[in-house]
Amino acid sequence: MKKIFILFLGLTILFSVPIEAQSKKKKKQLEAAAKSKALKEKAEKEKTAKIKPYDKVITKEALSDKGLFTTHRVKDNYFFEIPNELLNKEMLLVSRIAKLPTGLGGGYINAGTSTNEQLIIWERFQDKILIKVKSYSSIANDSLPISISVKANNYEPTLYAFDIKAFSKDSSAIVIDVTKFYSSDIKAMSGLDSRIRTTNKVKSLDSSRSFINSVKSFPQNIEVIQDFTYTASNPSVLPDTETISIQMNQSMILLPEVPMKSRLFDRRVGWFNLSHYDYGSEALKSDKKTFIRRWRLEPNDVEAYKRGELVEPIKPIVYYLDPATPEKLKKYIKAGVEEWQKPFEAAGFKNAIICKDAPTKEEDPDFSPEDIRYSVIRYVASTTRNAMGPSVVDPRTGEIIESDIIWYHNHLRSYRNRYLLETGAANTDARTLDTSDDAMGEMMQMVIAHEVGHALGLPHNMGASCAYDVENYRKAPFTKEFGISASIMDYARFNYIAQPGDEGVRFIRQMGPYDYYAINWGYRYLADCNSKECEEKILDEWIRAKENDEMYRFGNQGSSFDPRSQTEDIGNNSIKASTYGLKNLKYVSEHLPEWTSDKTNSYEDLEELYGEMLGVWSRYIGHVVTHVGGVYEDYKNPDQGGVVYSSVPKSNQKEAINWLHNNAFQTPTWLVDKRILQNINYQGYIDKVSRIQARHLNSLLSADRLGRLFDSYLIDSKAYSSIEFLSDLRKGIWKEVYTLENSSTFRRGLQRAYLDRMNYLLNDDFKNFKDYMVSLSDLRAMIRGELITLKTRLIIAKNNAPNTTLKYHYLDCIDRIEKALEPNK
């Protein structure tokens, strides 16, 4: 019996252990389930606490403004009420500077400067609203399978995430609090880029001195003004405050539901443009498609337009004058804007572009130059001498949404000075510091027209002035009809070719035939074209009709190697034009004190104009330098025949070298005028001229120019070779070594500059030079050979030097060559 009891007890213990373990496990599971349920209930309560009834968020105290979104201010908080129908709609967020301290950013940043443009959508994710930033750099039609991959490989960044605070009473809209968003230093919306932050040693945004100034909602846009104050160790003004305050304007505009019809870019006609990579293309690669940037101009009567009648656009381009504009300048600015009415008439539109005074506070209390609905001619109180024509563009299509023309107050002084220096020899009206209001007004009118051209989508056409023969600039009938360039978009400001006695010629630029051609090409409404192929065919026909007329050739500003596409030059032969220009400049130099200090009893203007006269001289030299190693660039399609790139003829390049030896590298004694120099500075007479000579010599001896000479000789053995160029340059720079004549201080300085440059070409590592492999080319072998040849001649010249100064100079040059040839010795 005892054994049975023990066995029973053992079994009882054995089975009780797993039963107890199971019980504990079940207990833990129940506890875990209860905890999970409690957490879910807590989350639901928190969710309920976050998303409150509408009236609890938008209270009776709210100041509301209906528009794109209804905006609300409740005490110090700002709310957006976003309609569900506007979620995932594409909008443009444009950040602009509204007010800024003097000097911030170095002179080219001003009130109205756009600091960023971002295409955004408002997207709901669970209980949050996200701002997603979209890009159209890569696209594919949503109906194509590859669109899945395009989206996956171009995932859009989240700019900001907001908690949903409430739903509208009818649940048609979502309420979010945007106070923190517009009060934070979000880099993508800031007016302070990394360079400005570094320069001014910006530390952080001071939230106690930063606030939202205003929030206004309009039917298609919302405008928010922020006042931000930063602590900074090195602010641009008032350094003791260690403070930078800046006012930003954030514009958000709904992009058109029906995007503008894009027009394909053609490099044969100059247009600003944007590109997409289309992965839905049938090409065996992502197909790069490039579109021009232009305003949406559509005729309000298509049938009349098709009949050839001039028709007003549905929505004209309207510019408003900045209220800060001086009264006497307004008429010239308006005329500059409306210069483009005639070219638009060539495209079939009348009154396509107009300029108005800004409305007064009484007429429109909400008007603001920063409001993205308005394009404004801004008049900026700044010492910067410039003007600009930036624009805001729909990145989907290239449609220009808005643009501002920036005019800096001091810019007219640059034009007065250049008017005197470049035309004073032939133009008696320019021989004064008190240029007439009419002349200054006309100059301003044409500068505004140039900047408006940019705002319409046109880049610089630096080849436009090359359409005119140099001698035509001396003829009154020609210059009055055609001006001084075939396009206002060229940097051809004044007629510096006309000579004393050339009566009645025009000196100031004007609109040209290319401007009419380009506007018609980009803006003519092709009502009967329903495909890109149809448009391309017509646009190509228009180009082909003008292909043999230089007036309609586009010269890219980036073609720094093409002597026909240079900044600030005029005429079809810049060597001949520079000869005329220098002849005039010598006359002006002789009379400069008479026209300035003799009149004002002050040397201030004389000093300023002498400095700028050196700049004019340098420009004329630079126009000739470009011929050496020059390459003509003629954009064309294969079916037009000929080649796109061809070397400047050898005879032209040798002519340029001879001109440079005679006009740039010979001592310009006419610039070393003691009547001027001894009254404007106590030193630096040699340095000013020598620096310019050295700069152009270094440009001639640039690796990329020598590389082009190598290439041209490879294509054509009759071309100007690099070895011939280096020989011609050496014999001219070192002429006194060969003739055993004395040399001036300027010449000796130029020869040292030559040796410095040759040493650089021989021994620099060229790590940052990408055009070709210098180490594998003939460049260093040729430089070494030139230095050895020169050393031999210097040894002979040293022994026959006419004076001690020259002997010491040659000894020094020999030593420099030896160190260049064996730098590690």
- Per-residue pLDDT, 2: 53
Please tell me the distance from the alpha carbon of residue 483 to that of residue 468, in angstroms, as a whole number: 10
Bridge partner list, 128: 125, 163
Measured in whole angstroms, the distance separating CA 583 from the mean position of its chain's CA atoms is 35
Contact 453, 340 (CB under 8 A): yes
* 183 pLDDT higher than 90: yes
* 106 pLDDT higher than 80: no
- Per-residue pLDDT, 387: 76
Please tell me the distance from the alpha carbon of residue 667 to that of residue 669, in angstroms, as a whole number: 6
CA dihedral 457, 460, 461, 463 (to 10 degrees): -170
**Helix, strand, or coil (residue 475):** coil
* 111 pLDDT higher than 90: no
- Per-residue pLDDT, 574: 96
Read off the tokens for 278.
Answer: 């289309």
In the block, tokens 């001195």 appear at: 209
Please tell me the distance from the alpha carbon of residue 262 to that of residue 399, in angstroms, as a whole number: 8
Burial (CB < 10 A; 0-12, 13-18, 19+), residue 799, is exposed
CA angle 151, 152, 157 (to 5 degrees): 80
Residues in the chain: 825
* 13 pLDDT higher than 80: no
Average pLDDT (161-166) is 96
Average pLDDT (143-147) is 56
Please tell me the distance from the alpha carbon of residue 296 to that of residue 773, in angstroms, as a whole number: 47
Please tell me the distance from the alpha carbon of residue 244 to that of residue 201, in angstroms, as a whole number: 10
Average pLDDT (457-470) is 96
Please tell me the distance from the alpha carbon of residue 770 to that of residue 794, in angstroms, as a whole number: 35
Q: Would the CA dihedral through 620, 625, 627, 630 be positive or negative?
A: negative
Task: Determine phi and psi for 348, rounding to 5 degrees.
Answer: 95, 5
Average pLDDT (759-774) is 85
Number of neighbours of residue 790 by Cβ within 10 angstroms = 23
* 146 pLDDT higher than 60: no
Contact 270, 556 (CB under 8 A): yes
- Per-residue pLDDT, 366: 84
- Per-residue pLDDT, 305: 96
- The 8-class DSSP code of residue 748 comes to H
Smallest CA-to-CA distance from 632 within 466, 793, 468 is with 466
What pTM value is reported for the model? 0.88
Segments of 425-522 assigned E as strands? none
User: What's the pLDDT tens digit per position in 299-311?
Assistant: 999 999 999 999 9
User: What's the pLDDT tens digit per position in 554-569?
Assistant: 999 888 999 999 999 9
Residue/partner pairs of 767-771 with CB below 8 Å, 24 or more apart? 769/703, 769/704, 771/703, 771/704, 771/707
Following DSSP, what letter does each residue of 326-380 receive, concatenated? -GGGHHHHHHHHHTTHHHHHHTTBSS-EEEEEPPPTTT-TT--TTSTT-EEEEEE
For the chain, what percent of residues have pLDDT higher than 70?
92
* 524 pLDDT higher than 60: yes
* 460 pLDDT higher than 90: yes
Do the bridges between strand 391-393 and strand 375-380 make them parallel or antiparallel, or are there none, so unpaired?
unpaired
Smallest CA-to-CA distance from 177 within 189, 190, 193, 160 is with 160
Please tell me the distance from the alpha carbon of residue 635 to that of residue 643, in angstroms, as a whole number: 9
Bridge partner list, 541: none
User: What's the pLDDT tens digit per position in 360-418?
Assistant: 889 988 888 888 889 999 887 777 777 777 888 999 999 999 998 888 877 888 999 99
